[in-house]
Structure 1
Amino acid sequence: MILVTGAGGFLGAACVRQLLGEGHKVLALDPYRGGFVPQGAALLESEADLATARPDAILHLAAFSDGPVGLARSGEAAPERALEVNLLGFHRLLRLAAEAGVRRVVWSSSTVAIGPATGPDRVAEEVPCAPITAYGLSKHLAEQAALYVRRRHGLDITGVRLPLLFGPGLWYDGAAGLLARMVAAAAPGAAPEFAAPEDAFDAAHVADAARLFALLLARPGLAPLYHLAGFTTRWAEIAATLAELVPGYAPRLNPTPAPITWPLVSQARLEQDTGFACTHDLRATLRDLLETSA
């Protein structure tokens, strides 16, 4: 049995569907008490019941969010709460997992834990981190907590620094919200204008992230941390691709300075250790979004 925390979120629901589709029994822990958890998963009332449930593995995706504004803005608005949930809550879950004899924990970090880009080159997992957002700080400290519990208690823990995630079911605004607005406006003859940075960034389809987490749960003894790069794109490329997929749609971009330029990451270690490869490029991701929003 696999316990999924944050099982009602955008990524969490995709992971629950992936695990159920692979035949796993899934136990879901979600602050909304199952309102958005896919059918087929059993619900766990609280972390205190973990010892009784005794799952074989845990997929930890829960993070502090104050509604649809996204994780980053939620963290900036309430940094102490972000640290309480993303760091202290995570550490408490790891301690309970170790006490309950859980064999494997996989969890979601973020590339924002690295901090701003310091150059054009892709960075590996050992790059020095210098986060400048509350959300990034909480994830960087959570990575340190995971390493500590791995050393102290021998718990088999692997984290993944995720890029922006796109795909059907994206409901919150945040950094990925611009894509949702561009897709929602896609129609022949429409020519809306969007303010967007010009910098390149990494992104991935949520279904690829879900496949990756399912793979990592089934592979014990891997490295403590991996990068998922997905595909690299720019908002200008996204607008141009949407215009190709929806004839007559002509989104216009108003270039704006990016508040922070995030580093591009290398997923070479992930590919070498697991053989994982994403199946969705930008075009496939946008086509999927257009089809499900129609």
Structure 2
Amino acid sequence: MQKSILILGACGQIGTELTIELRAKYGSENVVASDIREGGESLMQSGPFELLDATNYEAIEDVVMHYEIDEVYLMAAMLSATAEKFPMRAWNLNMNSLFNVLNLAKEKKISKIFWPSSIAVFGPNTPKENTMQSTIMEPSTVYGISKQSGERWCEYYFKKFDVDVRSVRYPGLISWKTMPGGGTTDYAVDIYHEALKKESYECFLNEETKLPMMYMDDAIRATINLMESPSEKLSVRSSYNLGSMSFTPKEVAQNIRKHIPNFEISYNPDFRQQIADSWPSSIDDSAAKRDWNWQPEFDLEKTTEEMLDNLKDTV
């Protein structure tokens, strides 16, 4: 069946790659990219693009009506490290953009929503190992608070208004195609760039900070698989835990040395250390595996090979 898709925040770290993948799958003309600024060449030239503020309901509604949009992927957000510097701006963007698309679906102007949550919904009192789907959630960051609130609103709109909204809690994401966007897990991208450029890296987290991570290809695949799953199979309408691999900066460095033997890493933890310390170190994603057959394909070794191989010609 033909569908028309709108991506809000298409120029961000996830949005860029998601847009390209959806266009390849559903046809370029059927996937409208949008953001508050223009994106890279591959995104801008591969299909329709609209300059759009995700906090402006009327502007989104106009685009939805013009293109007869069925599904919206809301990728616009201010991430953890940046949000700590601009708390009210982050809350405004992260929450009002979500209400806009939830209300469009409530009014039956769109039929399906994807909205990303994050491991930031968990907090310092959450069990760190194999963090369960339902557990203590006391986020200590503005980003985490907005994502936890968003999860509750998604479930509320599903139960109260039958809004078909779907979500995953992304771990830290690693990609060679796009630069990170102000998150606490950004080191896991930066480290590969610096390894190739300078054979050294100063990490803003300490060497034993173990966090859940995922290669971007897996994240995009999980997102599309969830959106294509039959509604009746889905038991979670807040947000699904999504797992892949967990590692420390020290372990990434050891992996890089297999390819760049002289690579050196030093540690100078900053304010992001406190954020990282409040997050889980590994994730139980059995609900996603059960409901829509989620299975990651990338581990740390495969990710390191992909990152270094693809970046070597760009630095």
When the two structures are superposed, what TM-score results if normalisation uses the length of structure 2?
0.83
Provide closer, same or farther for how the CA distance between residues 110 and 42 of structure 1 changes in structure 2, counting only shifts above 3 A: same
- Determine the C-alpha separation between the residues in 2 that align with 1:179 and 1:62: 21
Q: Spell out, residue by residue over 1:132-168, the C-alpha distance to the aligned partner (whole angstroms, 9 max, x if none).
A: 1111111111111111211222111111111100111
User: CA–CA distance in 2 between the matches of 1:33 and 1:186?
Assistant: 30
Measured after TM superposition, the shift of residue 191 of structure 1 is 4.9
Correspondence 1:280 to 2:298: yes
For 2:128 and 2:170, how far apart are their aligned partners in 1? 19
Residue aligned with 2:123, SS: coil
- What code does the residue aligned with 2:205 have? A
Displaced runs of 4 or more, over 4 A: none
- The answer to whether the aligner puts 1:47 opposite 2:60 as a matched pair is yes
Give the aligned residue type for 1:262. W
- Report the more deviating stretch, 105-114 or 117-126: 117-126
Aligned match of 2:257: 243
Aligned with residue 135 of structure 2, among 127, 139, 160: 127
- Structure 1 position 207 matched with structure 2 position 217: yes
- The answer to whether the 8 Å contact 2:204/2:269 transfers is yes
Amino acid at match of 1:52: H
> Match for 1:283: what amino acid?
E
The alpha carbon displacement at 1:100 in A equals: 4.0
For the 8 Å contact 2:80–2:182, the answer to whether it is kept is no
| Equivalent in the alignment of 2:56 | none
Deviation at 1:42, TM superposition (A): 1.5
Aligned length: 287
- Deviation (angstroms), 1:91: 0.8
Task: State the SS of the aligned residue for 1:186.
Answer: helix
Per-residue deviation at 1:226? 0.5
Q: Deviations over 1:166-203 (max 9, x none)?
A: 11112435323323332123259945554532121100
Cα 1:187–1:12 shift into 2, 3 Å: closer
The one-letter code of the counterpart of 1:17 is I
What secondary structure, in the 3-state scheme, does the structure 2 residue paired with 1:185 have?
A: helix
- Aligned counterparts of 1:8 and 1:184: Cα–Cα separation in 2: 20
Identity over the aligned pairs, expressed in percent? 23
How far off its partner does 1:287 sit?
A: 1.7
| Equivalent residue, structure 1, for 2:105 | 97
For structure 2, which runs of at least 5 residues remain unmatched after alignment?
A: 52-58
CA 1:188 to 1:135, structure 2 compared with 1: closer, same or farther past 3 Å? Answer: closer
One-letter amino acid of the counterpart of residue 177, structure 1: D
Q: Select the structure that is richer in helix.
A: 2
Give the match's secondary structure for 1:59. Answer: strand
Pick from 80, 84, 107 the counterpart of residue 76 of structure 1.
Answer: 84
Partner of 1:262: 279
8 Å contact kept, 1:227–1:265: yes
- 2:67, 2:198 → 1: CA distance? 55
Whether the 8 Å CA contact 2:140–2:278 is kept in 1: the answer is: no
Q: Please say if residues 101 and 113 of structure 2, whose CA atoms lie closer than 8 Å, have aligned partners that are also in contact.
A: no
| Paired amino acid for 1:278 | P
Say if 2:310 is the partner of 1:292.
yes
Structure 1: gaps spanning 5 or more residues: 65-70
Alignment of 1:30-41 (within 5 A): 30-35=35-40, 37=43, 39-41=45-47
- 1:250–1:157 CA distance, 2 compared to 1 (3 A): same
Cα distance change on mapping 1:159 and 1:236 into 2, 3 Å: same
Partner in structure 1 of residue 117 of structure 2: 109
Matched, 1:252 2:265: yes
One-letter amino acid matched to 1:63 = A
Return the match for 1:16 from 4, 15, 19. 19
Instruction: Work out the CA distance in 2 between the residues paired with 1:104 and 1:204.
Output: 25
Q: Conserved in 2, the CA contact under 8 Å of 1:18 and 1:214?
A: no
Moved more, 228-237 or 15-24: 15-24
Greater mean deviation of Cα atoms: 6-15 or 213-222: 213-222
Q: Structure 1 187/51 Cα, relative in aligned 2: closer, same or farther at 3 Å?
A: closer
Task: State the AA in 2 paired with 1:32.
Answer: R
Q: Deviations over 1:205-258 (max 9, x none)?
A: 111111111111212412312111121111111000000022x32323438594
Q: 1:186 to 1:19 in 2, by over 3 A?
A: same
1-side partners of 2:74 and 2:170: how far apart?
A: 13
2:75 is equivalent to residue 61 of structure 1 = yes
